[in-house]
A and B are shown apart, each in its own frame.
Chain A
Amino acid sequence: MSPELLSALTVFVLAILVGFAVISKVPATLHTPLMSGANSIHGIVLVGSMFIAIEANDLPSQLLSLVAVAFATMNVVGGYVVTDRMLQMFRKKPVAPKATEQAEG
């Protein structure tokens, strides 16, 4: 086994353990936003898609990587924006919500 692979495996296993530990007792209210947030994180696949796009030098590869880049970006951008929209609604409302609403715009 090459040293690179060994270090990659180490990172993989430790990241799994972090993933297990990072979710504690989440209130049910946050299940959906949390899932959506985790969903955006695997949009990191965009980094890999960019690598295959830059190395693509025949038509099938170019098409595959184009779709991969587009899919991955959709995952990243859409994921974070929709999560933020969900979470935006959880901000604490001041005592007089109507007055502040007008002040905000």
Chain B
Amino acid sequence: MDFSTISDIVRLTWLAGAACFVIGLMRMNSPATARNGNLLSAGGMAVAIAATAILLFARPTVDGGVNGTGWAIIVVGILVGGGAGLYTARTVKMTAMPQLVSLFNAAGGGAAALIAIDDYLGLKAAPDPQINVATVLDIVIGSITFTGSLIAAGKLQGLIAGKPIMIPAGRIVTVALAVITVLGAVFLWAGNLSVPVMLLILAAALVFGVTMVLPIGGADMPVVISLLNSFTGTAVAMAGFVLGNDVLIIAGALVGASGAILTKLMADAMNRSVMNIMIGGFGGGEGTQTAAGGAGGTVRAIGADDVAIQLAYAQHVIVVPGYGLAVAQAQHAVRELAELLEERGVDVKYAIHPVAGRMPGHMNVLLAEANVPYPQLKEMDDINPEFERCDVALVVGANDVTNPAARRPGSPVSGMPILDVDKAHSIVVIKRSMGRGYAGIDNELYTNPKTGMLFADAKDGLAALTAAVKAL
């Protein structure tokens, strides 16, 4: 087989791989076909990479020999990167998974930027204007996602304070960096070949990624990660233009566009606009102090034994898990309690707010990991009408998503979709203290006369309840 035939076959294989990505993504839109879709996409990726290796191997070299160093780089790189990826992906706790996705995103963005940097360093003269545009865009976007995703991961991991960090004169610094980047890019696009200017743009974009994400609050990180994911896709498409490689263009553009839509969907589920998040609005310093809000009622504390009796003799119980449950790793404890109640004939369901946990859909993942049967997990619109008929609503570590104040205008959470927990006959809240949620306001649910507060860590509280129900 001559090289041009091999090259044609490899290109067709890339096309097949790209088709797998598209069909895989489509299948991931529905729970029933999602896993299968991901495997299809992975298969397409494996085939595309294998074909690339064959192409590189069959390609005639200058001296006719095999480029030993080049292959060593590829093999070592794949072993190191693949090993690190495989190990972290398999060992990470499900609660820490969002930051891992962000870390992988940083790696992808970094790789895309490195391709353009390497290409630029090898230039002898300014390239065609079109390629020049792609190269500079690849460097800029790839660098922003690289540092931005690292900061986002650091915030979720708790290495960097989750609360919005205001850099002194932060806005000015960010704008100045943007101006430097744009001016530098225009200078290069005008046909100048300058490595120092390229490095200046690189540095400005790297710092810009940091200053862009630092002022954004931890609870908005999912949307930020999704946005940066879309950025990486775009950077990869630009790398495709730089190298003249269609499969990079297709896959990059695909992720860039679908990531943008997904970002919007996520923001919508949280009743936030992407613009607002990027500018760093609510949850900032200003909202935190506007407490009170007329909820001057008293709070009723309740003991585990009393709650156990309520639960054991109820007919319908709805568990409302939240961020606190995820942090306390109490998903197994809640499943144990639910199973015990079911043995006693109690009907148990879980009300999942779209943004419960750390990311949209995260709570489902956590509960599924603890073997909670999927049919018991109810989405907000399905479960809300059922609260009226429910005897006990057990709120575990959820706060803002249950605050009835959201139904009235004039509160920072106004308009946010909430779970109608206050409609239940009786409400039990497991919470460590009266501390406020992310929105920084008091929850009127806690002062509702129907509400009993069980002050405990989610895991300990649930364990105490399980023990108390067993003792009945």
Which residues of A are in contact with B by a Cβ distance under 8 Å? 1-2, 4-5, 8, 11-13, 15-20, 22-57, 60-62, 64-93, 97, 101
Contacts and interface: CB of A to CB of B under 8 A. Distances in A.
Contacts of B255: 19, 38-39, 41-42
Interface residues of B, number: 119
B118 A50 contact: no
A52 B354 CA distance: 42
A19 B114 contact: no
Given A38-B258, A71-B114, A78-B104, A30 B85 contact: no
Given A33-B34, A33-B361, 10 more contacts: A15-B257, A19-B260, A29-B31, A35-B225, A42-B236, A51-B245, A66-B73, A67-B110, A75-B107, A78-B86
B281 to A, nearest CB: 21
Interface in B67-100: 67, 69-71, 73-74, 76-78, 80-82, 84-86, 88-90, 92, 94, 97-98, 100
B222 interface: yes
Contacts of B258: 19-20, 22-23, 38
A15 B29 contact: no
B230 to A, nearest CB: 8
Nearest to B362: A32
B248 A48 contact: yes
A29 B379 contact: yes
A41 B121 contact: no
Say what secondary structure dominates the interface of chain A: helix
A44 B77 contact: no
B453 interface: no
Given A42-B236, A68-B111, A81-B86, A28 B73 contact: no
Contacts, number: 389
Given A5-B130, A35-B229, A46 B49 contact: yes
A28 B49 CA distance: 32
Nearest to A91: B35
A88 B49 CA distance: 25
Contacts of A32: 97-98, 101, 222, 359-362, 365
Contact of B25 (A38, A57, A76): A38
B88 A78 contact: yes
Contact of A18 (B22, B48, B70, B74): B22
B77 A86 contact: no
B56 interface: yes
B118 A8 contact: no
Interface stretch (B205-213, B368-376, B385-393, B428-436): B368-376
Contacts of A44: 17, 21, 45, 48, 236, 247-248, 251-252
A22 to B, nearest CB: 5
B365 A68 contact: no
Interface stretch (B36-44, B176-184, B407-415): B36-44
Contact of B28 (A37, A52, A56): A37
B64 interface: no
B253 A12 contact: yes
B108 A42 contact: yes
B45 A76 contact: yes
Contact of A22 (B31, B48, B254): B254
Contact of A73 (B78, B97, B237, B246): B78
Contact of B77 (A19, A45, A53): A53
B118 to A, nearest CB: 5
A55 to B, nearest CB: 7
A51 B256 CA distance: 22
Nearest to B261: A23
23 contacts: A12-B237, A16-B254, A20-B261, A22-B22, A30-B361, A38-B259, A41-B21, A41-B233, A42-B232, A44-B17, A44-B251, A51-B52, A53-B73, A54-B67, A61-B121, A71-B108, A73-B77, A73-B85, A76-B49, A76-B82, A78-B89, A89-B368, A90-B368
